[in-house]
Amino acid sequence: MSSLRARLPERGMTIALLRRGALLWLLARMLVVAGGAALSGHVSLGIFAPTALALSLAVGAMGLLDARRRNEHRFLANLGVSPLTIVLLSIIPALVAELALRIAGLQ
């Protein structure tokens, strides 16, 4: 547990990364839905599970790029936080949201 704690950034940074992951997922999801609506002619929140997974991974990559854009990656490295941890923290909100949509029957 202490090992996991050492790999995560402190609470403020963790919350910031999770919040950004959620925002990135929302933007990516809106783009996917808008693209689907443009192609099919009707709006649907539903996407295939592999697409949802790919979307979540893309959000993780975008989260890492966003941290680099904000010049946070060096500071986070000094805090002992790896790039993989940044990716994972960005992915978590996307996975949770996709799961919530499926449970709610909106997929």
**Residues at the site binding another protein, with contacts judged by CB under 8 A:** 6-7, 9-13, 70-72, 74-82, 85
Q: Is 93 exposed, middle or buried (0-12, 13-18, 19+ CB in 10 A)?
A: buried
Q: What are phi and psi of 72, to 5 degrees?
A: -100, -15
The least distance separating another protein from the CB of residue 1, rounded to whole angstroms, comes to 15
Is 10 or 45 the residue whose CB approaches another protein more closely? 10
Asked if 53 contacts 84 with a C-beta cutoff of 8 angstroms, the reply is: no
The least distance separating another protein from the CB of residue 79, rounded to whole angstroms, comes to 5
Is 72 or 98 the residue whose CB approaches another protein more closely? 72
The least distance separating another protein from the CB of residue 81, rounded to whole angstroms, comes to 6
The least distance separating another protein from the CB of residue 60, rounded to whole angstroms, comes to 17
Is 23 or 53 the residue whose CB approaches another protein more closely? 23
Listed as own residue / partner, the contacts of 27-31 with beta carbons closer than 8 Å and 24 or more positions apart are: 28/55, 28/58, 28/59, 28/62, 28/94, 29/55, 29/97
Is 66 or 98 the residue whose CB approaches another protein more closely? 66
